[in-house]
Structure 1
Amino acid sequence: MPFGTAPLKLRSTGMFRPLELFIGLRYTRAKRRNQFISFISTVSIVCIAISVTALITVMSVMNGFDSELRTRILGAIAHVTVSGIGETVQDWPRAVKVAEGTGHVLGAAPYVETQAFLQARRPSGAVIRGIVPSLEPKVSDIDKHMVSGKLTDLTDRSWKIVLGRELALTLGVDVGDKVTVVVPQFTATPMGAVPKLRSFTVSGVFELGMQEYDANLALVSMEDAQRLNGLDGPTGIRLKLDDMRLAFPVARTLVNQLGQAYRVETWMDTHSNFFSAIEMEKRVMFIILSLIILVAVINLISMLMMLVTDKQADIAILRTLGSTPRSIMGMFMVQGVLVGIVGIAFGVLLGAVLSINLPVIVKGIEHVTGKSFLSPDVYYISELPSQLMWSDVGWVVVVTFLFALLATLYPAWRASRTQPAQALRYE
């Protein structure tokens, strides 16, 4: 066939690679006359890797704080709480038995809870919770956070009390000191109605690391709490689940089994706003840091535009040999996507390593500098927590890849619009 009678169709190489992929990969290898383009390509990879690393690390830190707060808060409160319509729970042994027989329930423990006024060297208000020491570890972690003393000292008629650390400091007491507890129950006397009060001996101090509980919670024996408040049973039953995310379906099951004489609440009912705020903050942070990735991808656009300008003659020759505009676009998209994939790979690797070892790294920096990153005198979480979640890593990879893919479209389109005659005019 004479030359020029028909365009020559370019075929894939014998290495079983499509033509666009072959040429796109070849353009990624730097030559002497396009070292600057190769430098810009390297900068694009580094910027994308740093952005991905930062996003993964920040998300892991926020996951760590969220998990730490959930652990500390749910270490003091119940996943599910069963209470009665009146002051006390009717037939509470049956309710405990039903609750323990429900799926996903690890433990159940009755309790009495009331507001009280505490008087020692200084006065303070607090929540008095009457517990059964042998059952309390099934539903809370307070026994694991005892600074002094132990919960088993809270026996019937012992009139002992365990205080949160901040509450003990406010009252100015320590183990062995006396605390007067005044509850809103009145007794008729010749002098008139007077509130009930009782002297308790401090037998222990706990510290959960949460201001809400360390400064406002005191524990006594459930029998002592009933006697002090004039009750004939517990005011509620606290449940612990094997998965706190199942609190709502478990609560719905308990409502059907226990009947209308009981009220069932979950931890999501009492702390939903707090955890929703944390989740919203995490999403906003993801969006903000995604914009940093978008800025890093702009370098990719600059690199591809310079590459298109540098390869005008090559594009024109390929067009005269039969390459279609779609094929030309594919060649340049391959290089842009490859830069994005390499940057994402390095970013995920560095982000995962940094997130997993972040607490150790922070401790090392604190040891070298002699300064505490999160001072325990100011913050209740004194160690920087980090929890790597691969679902977050997956979202980071998807978003970054989409940004890199979109960044290649305009330069590749410009390359496909190259006119062979104009590009070869001065060659």
Structure 2
Amino acid sequence: MSGIPLFIGLRYTNAGKKNQLVSFLSIISTLGLIVGVSLLVAVLSIMNGFDRELREKILGLVPQAAIYQHGGIDDWQFVREKVLRDEAITAAAPFVQLSGLSRYKSNTSSVLLYGIDSQLEKEVSLIEEYIDPQLLDSLDSDSPRILLGQGLANKLDVVVGEKIMLLIPNMQNTRAAPKLQYFEVVGLLQSNTELDTRLALTSLTQASALSEYPGRVSGVRLTLKDIFSAPNVVYSQMLQLGAGFYGNNWTRTHGNLYHAIHMSRNLVGLLMGLIVAIAAFNVVSTLVMVVIEKKGDIAILRTMGASSSDIVKIFLVLGSVIGFIGTALGVGFGVLLAVTAQDLMHWLELQLGIQFLKSDVYPLTYLPSEILLSDIVTVGLTAMALSFLAAIYPAWKASRVQPAEALRYE
């Protein structure tokens, strides 16, 4: 009876049509599995998207690593040439970093001002993806010009062509009056990240003039082959450059966010996994009802020579089919949900008139997603394995049916 258990198991997938209760339980079990698997695939894909955006977008705008010197770096060209000898470093550029207050008319907001070299900055960041290169080059004008994050511009209610005032305090001498400068807004930068609400870019010369050490830069920004090597690379450069130099890297500035994303991914994945497990084990109740309904059939099969293992195989096939259908549909819906997550959230925001992910609260203003084949395979195989395990008890129960006792009531 080598092929008969498979044939009968497949036929039993329609066994509940004559019994409304069995049919209902079968539908509920399959739907539960579909919902659980689809949510797990979608959630994992969205968390993967956040992880990717942090690495590629946010870390493409802020330094992956940076070298500083107490009192500012005077000869940044020398430092840049020296760090570029390290094969782990792919690019380097000077910058001036200042914190201050921006004002336009009666509107004020805190600002993170970066002074950049417009040519070298293109090598170390993804700035050209968010701003016209010609606008970036225009910062090198003799007149003070500035690029604002879209969120910051919205706070100030300022448009391109207007002038804003920047106040930069002297952190070394708090009694000294803050430096004041008016800048013409020549462009807006929109990365759809938290940086949009506070970032401003100007030329290296203009920013340096506002710093505590005019004519010097705050540090040299580094781009690395492997971002996870940042702590080791920075430490190595500090040793080579000598006393007075110190460093920082993204694991200190954004490490908590990165670990929070991974922790959230694991916790949410665990919760969704439990939902899948519960849905898979709902198969038990469905198969037990099928066993009760098919006691007569089981008894007849036994009298015709079917062994206990054949009966077990029949119900294992039935459980596996339910698991396969639920898993396949769940993966399909999960992938569809992951692909359309951003558009779906945007549609809901338009319908409800609210913004779910605000840039001043969350690192991104949209739902990114990245579908990994490894996640789909893992989720699919796990769901099917759980469904198979859930079928073991009903299958064993079916194999214990005594033909004489079952046929007595037929």
Smaller-chain TM-score bracket: 0.7 to 0.9
Give the 3 Å change call, closer, same or farther, for CA 273–104 of structure 1 in structure 2: same
| Residue number in structure 2 paired with 1:371 | 351
Q: Would you say how many aligned residue pairs link Structure 1 and Structure 2? A: 403
Conservation of the 8 A alpha-carbon contact between 2:99 and 2:112:
yes
Give the 3 Å change call, closer, same or farther, for CA 28–162 of structure 1 in structure 2: closer
Report the residue type matching 1:27 in the other structure: Y
Aligned-pair distance for 1:327?
4.2
1:177 aligns with 2:157: no
1:108 aligns with 2:88: no
Report the residue type matching 2:331 in the other structure: V
1:333 aligns with 2:316: yes
| Residue number in structure 1 paired with 2:111 | 126
Percent identity, please. Answer: 33
Report the residue type matching 1:87 in the other structure: G
The range that moved more, 47-56 or 57-66, is 57-66
What secondary structure sits across from 2:391 in the alignment? Answer: helix
Aligned-pair distance for 1:212?
4.9
Give the 3 Å change call, closer, same or farther, for CA 153–181 of structure 1 in structure 2: farther
1:139 aligns with 2:124: yes
- Unaligned 5+ segments in structure 2 are none
What secondary structure sits across from 2:119 in the alignment? Answer: coil
Conservation of the 8 A alpha-carbon contact between 1:179 and 1:201:
yes
Structure 2 counterparts to residues 22-421 of structure 1, below 5 A: 22-30=7-15, 37=22, 40-68=25-53, 70-84=55-69, 86-89=70-73, 92-103=76-87, 105-118=89-102, 121-122=105-106, 124-146=109-131, 150-155=135-140, 158-168=143-153, 170=155, 174=159, 175-177=161-163, 179-184=165-170, 194-195=176-177, 197-208=179-190, 212-228=194-210, 229-241=212-224, 244-245=227-228, 247-248=230-231, 250-251=233-234, 254=237, 262-319=245-302, 323-360=306-343, 371=351, 375=355, 383-421=366-404
Give the 3 Å change call, closer, same or farther, for CA 99–393 of structure 1 in structure 2: farther
Conservation of the 8 A alpha-carbon contact between 2:100 and 2:166:
no
Conservation of the 8 A alpha-carbon contact between 1:121 and 1:173:
no
Aligned-pair distance for 1:38?
5.4
What secondary structure sits across from 1:107 in the alignment? Answer: strand
Report the residue type matching 1:371 in the other structure: Q
Report the residue type matching 2:399 in the other structure: S
Report the residue type matching 1:183 in the other structure: P
Runs ≥4 residues deviating over 6 A:
none
Q: What TM-score does the superposition give when structure 2 sets the normalisation length?
A: 0.80
Aligned-pair distance for 1:41?
3.5
Conservation of the 8 A alpha-carbon contact between 1:206 and 1:214:
no
Counterpart Cα distance in 1 of 2:225 and 2:183: 35
What secondary structure sits across from 1:235 in the alignment? Answer: strand
What secondary structure sits across from 1:154 in the alignment? Answer: helix
Once the two structures are superposed, what CA deviation does each residue of 1:363-386 show, in whole Å capped at 9, x if it has no partner? Answer: 6x56xx962676499567555433
Aligned-pair distance for 1:184?
0.3
What secondary structure sits across from 1:385 in the alignment? Answer: coil
Give the 3 Å change call, closer, same or farther, for CA 393–31 of structure 1 in structure 2: closer
Conservation of the 8 A alpha-carbon contact between 2:149 and 2:189:
yes
Once the two structures are superposed, what CA deviation does each residue of 1:131-163 show, in whole Å capped at 9, x if it has no partner? Answer: 111112222334543499822233275443333
Superposition CA RMSD, Å: 3.8
